[in-house]
Structure formats: structure tokens, C-alpha cells
């Protein structure tokens, strides 16, 4: 049984040491930190701009499904069914900003880099193919020249044999 436990521990260790698990862990940590930055931008910048047309906090935008909505001093619902569409709008704005930043700062530069890399590799492969084609042509010419020399040398040899 200890051998089985040892293999399970070794398997778990191998799993943790894989590169993609480490990359995923780094991505989660960076994503959490990035979320805090985006949330602060939305709450500190976007919400006040939107609030210039209404309240200063998007989360205060709400409607009542079953009127009248009444709340107590702590913000708890006493009567009615409130729809918190300001909270949804804030979350959508946070998502859009996060998606835009990820796209423009990570995805777009990486795709451009990969496209340039692929173009360089294609050019290198094309040059390699041209070089190989030139070598093959040269080798054929050498072969043909050797065959021609053998052919003329073979005729001399056979002629000298008769003498």
C-alpha cells in the first residue's frame, strides 16, 4: 500500500510541475490583481461619468418589480421586489473594459507576434526549399557530367582493349 501511496504522490508532484499548471496558477493570480484594477477604474472613473447623468453610483440604479419597494435603514428589503439593473450595468462595463484591455494589450500583440513569426518561418522554409532545389539541380548536372565522362571513357577503354 505504501508503494501505491508513493506513486500517487509522485503522480501529483509530476502534475504540479507541469508547465501548464504553473502557467494557469500565474494567470489566476494576475487575473485577480487585474480584476481589482478594473473594478477600481469602473467604480472610480466610469461610475462617476455615468453618474453625471444621474446618481453617482451605478449600483443605486434600480427599479421595483412589485411596487412600492421599501427598504430599511441598513438597505434590507422590507417590501417589493427590486431589480438592481445598475449592478448589472456595472458588471457589464467591468467585463467590457476587462475584455478590451485583455484584447488590446495581450491578444492583439501576441497574434501580431505569432503572425510575424509564422511569416519568418515560412520565408526560411521557402529559402530552404530553394536552396535544396538548387542543390538537386547541381547534383543532377554533376551526375550527368560524370555519366557523360564515363560514357566517353568507356568507349576509349573498349577501343584500347582491341589494340
Asked whether 128 and 72 are in contact (CB, 8 A), the reply is no
Which own/partner contact pairs does 81-89 have at CB distance under 8 Å and 24+ positions apart? 84/59, 85/61, 86/57, 86/58, 86/59, 86/60, 86/61, 86/62, 87/58, 87/59, 89/50, 89/58, 89/61
CATH class held by domain 2-162 = mainly alpha
Q: Find how far residue 57's CA is from the centre of its chain.
A: 35
Angle between helices 85-102 and 19-41 (to 10 degrees): 130
Query: 47: which residues sit within 8 A by CB, 6+ positions away?
Result: 56, 57, 58, 90
Whether 161 shows a pLDDT value over 50: the answer reads no
pLDDT score at 159: 46
Sign of the C-alpha dihedral computed for residues 27, 33, 34 and 39 taken in this order = positive
What are the tens digits of pLDDT across the range 15-48? Answer: 777 767 778 888 888 888 888 887 787 778 877 7
Instruction: Give the number of C-alpha atoms closer than 13 A to the C-alpha of residue 28, restricted to the C-beta side.
Output: 6
Cα-based torsion angle of the residue sequence 94, 97, 98, 100 in order, rounded to the nearest 10 degrees = 160
* Residue 63 CB partners (closer than 8 Å, separation 6+): 82, 83, 85
**Residues 63-86 pLDDT 10s:** 888 777 777 777 666 777 888 888
Report the alpha-carbon distance of residue 46 to residue 62 in Å, rounded.
18
Q: Give the range with max mean pLDDT: 93-102, 107-116, 149-158.
A: 107-116
Return d(Cα 85, Cα 58) in angstroms, integer: 9
pLDDT in tens, 84-108: 888 888 788 878 887 887 788 888 9
The predicted pLDDT at position 163 comes to 39
Alpha-carbon distance 136 to 15, whole Å?
48
Domain ranges of the chain: 2-162
- The model carries a pTM of 0.52
Amino acid at each position: 500500500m505504501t508503494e501505491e501511496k508513493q506513486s500517487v504522490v509522485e503522480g501529483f508532484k509530476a502534475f504540479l510541475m507541469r508547465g501548464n499548471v504553473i502557467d494557469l496558477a500565474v494567470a489566476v493570480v494576475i487575473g485577480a490583481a487585474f480584476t481589482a484594477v478594473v473594478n477600481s477604474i469602473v467604480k472610480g472613473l466610469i461610475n462617476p461619468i455615468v453618474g453625471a447623468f444621474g446618481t453617482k453610483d451605478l449600483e443605486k440604479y434600480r427599479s421595483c418589480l412589485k411596487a412600492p419597494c421599501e427598504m430599511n435603514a441598513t438597505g434590507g428589503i422590507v417590501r417589493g421586489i427590486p431589480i438592481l439593473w445598475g449592478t448589472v450595468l456595472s458588471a457589464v462595463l467591468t467585463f467590457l473594459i476587462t475584455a478590451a484591455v485583455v484584447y488590446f494589450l495581450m491578444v492583439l500583440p501576441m497574434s501580431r507576434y505569432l503572425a510575424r513569426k509564422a511569416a519568418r518561418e515560412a520565408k526560411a522554409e521557402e529559402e530552404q526549399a530553394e536552396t535544396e532545389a538548387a542543390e538537386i539541380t547541381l547534383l543532377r548536372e554533376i551526375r550527368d557530367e560524370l555519366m557523360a565522362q564515363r560514357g566517353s571513357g568507356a568507349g576509349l577503354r573498349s577501343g584500347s582493349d582491341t589494340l
